[in-house]
Amino acid sequence: MPNPQAKMGYVGSVTLLGTTAGNLRLRATNCDVKASQSIDYPDVVDGKIDRTLYQLGPRIVEGNIAFPLVHEGITAINSGRDCDQLTNRTLGEAMWQIASQRDSFGRLINQFDTQVRYTDDTHFKYPTCIVNTYTMSVTQSDMVNVSMDIIGGADSSDQVRLPSDNIEPEFLSPARVVTWNDFLIRVYGDQLQTEPIRGDYLREFEVTINNNAERFFTLNNKLAPQDITARKREISGRMILMGRNTALSELAYNNQDRFTSTARIAFGYSLGGAGSVAFITALHGVVFEIEEIAITNDLVQTTVPFTALADCDNGYEATELGTSGTDLPSGNTFTPGIFGGRTSTGFPNWNPDD
């Protein structure tokens, strides 16, 4: 037999097949999606010193994919190169929709196959996957990062892992990573409608969509789940402020004085100094918790946790699908409110220069 070879993972690739945005090649920093099967060894009284029984568990697929957001896929910032993979939306818009968009029965619209190429001779496709959790985070002086946990199902033949259809690499054009200076955020509350909190106050922002996905097994003579689906959604996050913002602190401390929440957070990113809004979305019905302040020898920072709830101004949804501002004449204003054709009211126009 030939000697074993050292094979490097950089030749691999991660692709989401069949999403509403088409086939998406993610420039991943990490991917540990895998198929697994637990095997238990029951402890019984059988007159033997060693165990003599084993029990098969279900075949499941799960794992995490981490990647930075990249400036690609929007007409206003499209390089015009043939190897651009997105034509009608940005990567940020596409991924937010994949993680959040549901039909009228609460099922995630995007169910996709995850194709992972490890080396030249090792490549698999994991069928019928959905996003369980999706986290977008940005820290000052860093890039905008995404981390998502996926859960996979099975095909009609009870297979949770298949040989991939296409292992040839699809080369992508050079593209700039979305960094903290591209990130846009405004926080609106009862007393902040005319004077939103801007990114000037923030050092970190993180938001997570948790679909609480679950596998459902039946007596169908299969080790794979009969179906996977999302349960009630949770959208939560946190902001870390430089110092303390009095208005936001008072808003959170006096939650007992209001019977509802009209606070909202709009966030997204633009192409740096070009001013074109590439992706923007909003969280509605935001409830802020009392801030956490720790004093050390370092910079004084305030951590504010928050949760977004269903809001009547947004069709009883906590978030919008998100879109780009490329169809607007100026390219730098956007009115949040579009979610499945619904339009919210009373939300200020977005202008990065405001």
pLDDT of residue 334: 37
At 184, which amino acid appears?
L
Q: Determine, yes or no, domain membership for 28.
A: yes
Opening angle at CA 104, ends 66 and 22, nearest 5: 40
What distance in Å separates the CA atoms of residue 13 and residue 9, rounded to the nearest whole number? 9
Interatomic CA distance for residues 196 and 265, integer angstroms: 9
How many separate domains does the chain show?
A: 1
Taking the C-alpha atoms of residue 83 and residue 80, their distance in angstroms, rounded to an integer, is 9
- Helix ranges (H only) for 153-274 are 246-253
- Domain extent, residue 116, equals 11-34+56-314
Distance CA 145, CA 27 (A): 11
Q: Does residue 41 lie in a domain region?
A: no
- Bridge-partner residues for 37, per DSSP? 59
Q: Does 2 map to a domain?
A: no
Q: How many CB atoms within 10 Å of residue 226? A: 13
d(CA 109, CA 240) in angstroms, rounded, equals 33
Q: Are 215 and 222 in contact (CB under 8 A)?
A: no
Q: What is the pLDDT of residue 55?
A: 96
The residue with tokens 């949804």 is 317
pLDDT of residue 236: 97
Listed in order, strand segments (DSSP E) in the chain are 13-19, 22-26, 30-31, 34-40, 55-68, 112-119, 122-139, 144-152, 162-163, 183-188, 197-198, 202-210, 214-216, 227-229, 234-242, 264-270, 277-283, 286-288, 292-294, 301-308
Q: What is the DSSP string of 109-169?
A: S--EEEEEEEETTEEEEEEEEEEEEEEEEEETTSBEEEEEEEEE---TTS-S-EE-S--S-
Q: How far apart are alpha carbons 262 and 266 in whole angstroms?
A: 13
Question: What are the tens digits of pLDDT across the range 106-161?
Answer: 999 999 999 999 887 788 999 999 999 999 999 999 999 999 999 999 888 889 99
Q: Is residue 328, in this structure, part of any structural domain at all?
A: no
pLDDT at res. 338: 38
Predicted local confidence at residue 324, as pLDDT: 59
Residue 344 within a domain:
no
Interatomic CA distance for residues 347 and 265, integer angstroms: 10
Q: Confirm if 230 and 106 have CB atoms less than 8 A apart.
A: yes
User: Quick check: is 76 in a domain?
Assistant: yes
In a domain, 325, yes or no: no
Q: What is the mean pLDDT of each run of 10 residues along the chain (354 residues)?
A: 77 90 92 95 94 95 96 62 70 93 92 90 92 97 97 89 78 86 87 72 96 94 92 96 91 90 88 73 92 90 94 80 48 38 39 54
**Tokens 């040839």 sit on residue:** 168
Cβ neighbours around 296 below 10 Å, total: 7
Q: Give the model's pLDDT for residue 124.
A: 93
Given this model, what pLDDT does residue 122 score?
86
Supply 103's token pair: 């039909």
> Which residue, among 182, 224, 215, 188, has the nearest Cα to 90 in the 3D structure?
182
| Domain assignment of residue 354, yes or no | no
